[in-house]
Structure 1
Amino acid sequence: MAASEIDIPVRPRILIADDSRIVRLALIKRIDGIFDFREACNGEEAWEMLLADGHIKVLITDLTMPRLDGYGLLQRIRQSSITRLREMPVVVISGSDEQVERERALAAGASDLITKGMETAHLVSRLDVLAKLVATRQEFRRGLEVLAQHVREGIATEFPAKEIFEAEASSLLRHAVQSGRDAVLLNVKIALRQPAGEDCSDVPARTVMAAIGGLLRRTVRQTDHVAQTGEAEFMLATGGINADAALVFARRICHAIADADLPDAGGGIVACCGIASLSDRSAAEGASLPRMQDIARRRAGLGIAQGFIGAVGEEEERVASGGGALMAIEHSDSAVPDAATLLRWIKEGRRDRVGPYLDKLPAELQSLAELVMKRSPI
């Protein structure tokens, strides 16, 4: 049996890149038993390991290393032609918590920045969040389709009562404020796709909502809180994650919901997620759960009104409120739908959704098209 066939980690695999063996050992001691790990002592070695090991989910890197520093490594990763690498969460480890260094690292493409003295529980929580973000849209979509079949077979998803969710979410928010950390509230609204020019306002069937609820319950961490808070909406509260990471997560969930082939979904689903975080200027002043819920609901509503599939945060709301189209500022997700999804969209008359992917068709569809072209008479 080949090594690649047996070297599949049960836990998410983390790569630690730092030229200090003491720092690497200190990090390993804190994550051992929770994450699988690999080590690199410079940026070049880390890059080679990233190319060779497809099971690495998150990179933790120092900024000052020999041969290739952290900034150079980040640049290679974000400019890579390999989707797995380009979208990989990268955590920069620093000896200080200076804002200038944080801003430079984030501008270079870092997903997060941690200090060497960070508490173990906080470190593990943030790595857990980032590891979950690696899941692709296709993985989410396939999971949703399986859950939809279970719902039709009578397997239900149980949610806590709205009052219990609000009590747990309020506690999470208070703790975040007291500890000076960020907390995020996500409002996921679902609607049926309508013909052009009509509002997306119809509520999907209960089986569809139950399947989507099941996807959310299975995707979030045990420390997060999620509930169905309306006939066609869910609310999710999470700590230890910043607004940018939440946007990535929300986009993938919403696109997975819209891409899925769900029974009882009519002409298709529109899913939009409104995001409110303590880092929002509009939410930070007098932060409370009701206020953040209102902000998240308002932002999700703006997206649904435009038939927008994706996430609406502070920047997106500002554009939409000014009369701009959300589709124009949607952050691209480089995951390309598989051939079956593209063909299904064409069959459903949704050719407009296929257009953006024509220049980067899945390999299997490209091969088929090339074969057909070769056999076609000139």
Structure 2
Amino acid sequence: MADIATDLPVKPRILIADDSRIVRATLIKHIEGMFDFREACNGEEAWEMLLADRHIKVVITDITMPRLDGYGLLQRIRHSSITRLREIPVVVISGSDEQAERERAIAAGASDLITKGIGTAHLVSRLDVLSTLTTTRQEFRRSLESLVQDVNPEALFALPMQERFNADASALLQSAVQGRRNFVLLSVRLALRRIVAEGACGTPPASVMAAIGQLLRRTIRQTDHVAQTGEAEFMLATGSINFDAAIIFARRICHAIADADIANEASGHLFACCGVASLSERGSATEDISLLRMQEIARRRAELGMAQGFIGAVGEQEEAGAANGMPLAAPAIEHAESGTPDAATLLRWIREGRQEQVRPHLDKLPAELQSLAELVMKRSPS
């Protein structure tokens, strides 16, 4: 009898799309042993592989390729009707590391940009982050809903205490400074917003906090650290991570928590905001940076988001905009990646008074809601 699990990769599977056999071979040499891999020599071939192989976790694509170039492949991925594809991390590989090229790639929906001369350690670290941290929003939401049903609140104490977290995170920060690598600290803040008292917020139940804590611990890498650092706050410390990947991860955590059906209409709906502090914000001036200072920055940004009822990540750019009177708003690429929620989610949001969250999806209603609306419109007047 055939083993039905033989096609499941033990290691994360990477798809490398490049028309140069030499470039593909060089990248494979970097990642062989750490990752499983597939090869494509053009964008069309890569697209067909993505459709057929649901175990691919990250895509590395060249920009210039025959039949379909890298930006064309990226556009298909980000506009796919398949959620798995819309949310897959995509790394653009380029001959240069110019800021303009990076900005164009990120604006097109890339998760990261690397150069063809990247070293093994840096490439493996970035792929490790993308394959581990960028869990899809839907997977995170479903796992959270399941955990809330059966998690034991006492399991929360399996997370490190704040003192242990501070010690581990400080060591990770110092290692990043010495190695000239990035370090990111996330303050994940949660609240229950009650419908009956507009603007009033409460603390999530212990079972919800326990479930979120356990899910965060499962999601991060072994080299990262997480702890509950307040009644409704978690702190997450991660090193050797690209800032854009950290922001994407933070946004998906917050939206997955807000999307999860784990509260009831009487208690209100759960929402989350993540304050992000990054070592890369300070450039080379790292001599006076401390974990305490970064915690202050991350918490200040999380509180800014909570005050505006913002679901998402607040970093340096968002904070600067808010200081100039600009309201916090999710970037366009975030909407493109997230897709349209299912009918049950949209209806629940409406019941909870979250019409502003529903409006961006009205033009792309799920098929079941469209059919219902058409039937109502065709109904003869009584």
TM-superposition CA deviations, 1:136-169 (whole Å, max 9, x none): 3222111111111222586545111212211211
In the other structure, the counterpart of 2:280 is: 279
Which SS does the other structure have where 2:268 is aligned?
coil
Distance 2:54 2:376 in 1: 33
Question: Residue 312 of structure 1: which of 295, 300, 314 is its match?
Answer: 314
TM-superposition CA deviations, 1:175-215 (whole Å, max 9, x none): 22222222211000111204598555532222221111112
In the other structure, the counterpart of 2:177 is: 177
Distance 1:56 1:148 in 2: 29
Moved more, 151-160 or 10-19: 151-160
CA offset at residue 271 of structure 1? 0.7
In the other structure, the counterpart of 2:300 is: 298
TM-superposition CA deviations, 1:67-87 (whole Å, max 9, x none): 444345445545556554444
TM-superposition CA deviations, 1:42-82 (whole Å, max 9, x none): 33432343344443221112334444443454455455565
Give the conservation status (yes or no) of the 8 Å contact 2:162–2:229. yes
In the other structure, the counterpart of 2:144 is: 144
Give the conservation status (yes or no) of the 8 Å contact 2:159–2:226. yes
Give the conservation status (yes or no) of the 8 Å contact 1:200–1:307. no
Q: 1:316 to 1:197 in 2, by over 3 A?
A: farther
CA offset at residue 97 of structure 1? 4.7
Give the conservation status (yes or no) of the 8 Å contact 2:192–2:269. yes
CA offset at residue 300 of structure 1? 0.1
Q: 1:372 to 1:129 in 2, by over 3 A?
A: farther
* Unmatched tracts of structure 2, length 5 or more: none
Residues 201-350 of structure 1 aligned to structure 2 (within 5 Å): 201-262=201-262, 266-281=267-282, 286-327=288-329, 331-332=334-335, 333-350=337-354
TM-score by structure 2 length?
Answer: 0.84
Which SS does the other structure have where 1:344 is aligned?
helix
CA offset at residue 291 of structure 1? 1.4
Distance 2:141 2:202 in 1: 22
TM-superposition CA deviations, 1:274-299 (whole Å, max 9, x none): 00112224995533211111111000
CA offset at residue 15 of structure 1? 0.8
User: 2:360 aligned with 1:356, yes or no?
Assistant: yes
Which SS does the other structure have where 1:276 is aligned?
strand
Q: Give the paired residue count.
A: 375
Moved more, 246-255 or 344-353: 344-353
Moved more, 132-141 or 292-301: 132-141
Distance 1:238 1:225 in 2: 7
* One-letter code aligned to 2:32: D
Distance 2:343 2:134 in 1: 21
Q: 1:282 to 1:311 in 2, by over 3 A?
A: farther
Q: 1:182 to 1:346 in 2, by over 3 A?
A: same
Distance 1:297 1:104 in 2: 30
Q: 1:179 to 1:282 in 2, by over 3 A?
A: closer
* One-letter code aligned to 1:224: D
TM-score by structure 1 length?
Answer: 0.85
Distance 1:167 1:327 in 2: 34
In the other structure, the counterpart of 1:127 is: 127
- Percent of pairs with identical residues: 71
TM-superposition CA deviations, 1:313-357 (whole Å, max 9, x none): 112112222333224768435332222222333444444433332
Which SS does the other structure have where 1:295 is aligned?
helix
Which SS does the other structure have where 1:326 is aligned?
coil
Distance 2:254 2:201 in 1: 16
Q: 1:173 to 1:74 in 2, by over 3 A?
A: same
Give the conservation status (yes or no) of the 8 Å contact 1:192–1:270. yes
Distance 1:248 1:346 in 2: 26
Moved more, 156-165 or 205-214: 156-165
Moved more, 85-94 or 237-246: 85-94
Distance 1:157 1:263 in 2: 22
TM-superposition CA deviations, 1:231-281 (whole Å, max 9, x none): 111110112322222221111111111122225881111210000112224
Q: 1:99 to 1:155 in 2, by over 3 A?
A: closer
Distance 1:179 1:154 in 2: 38
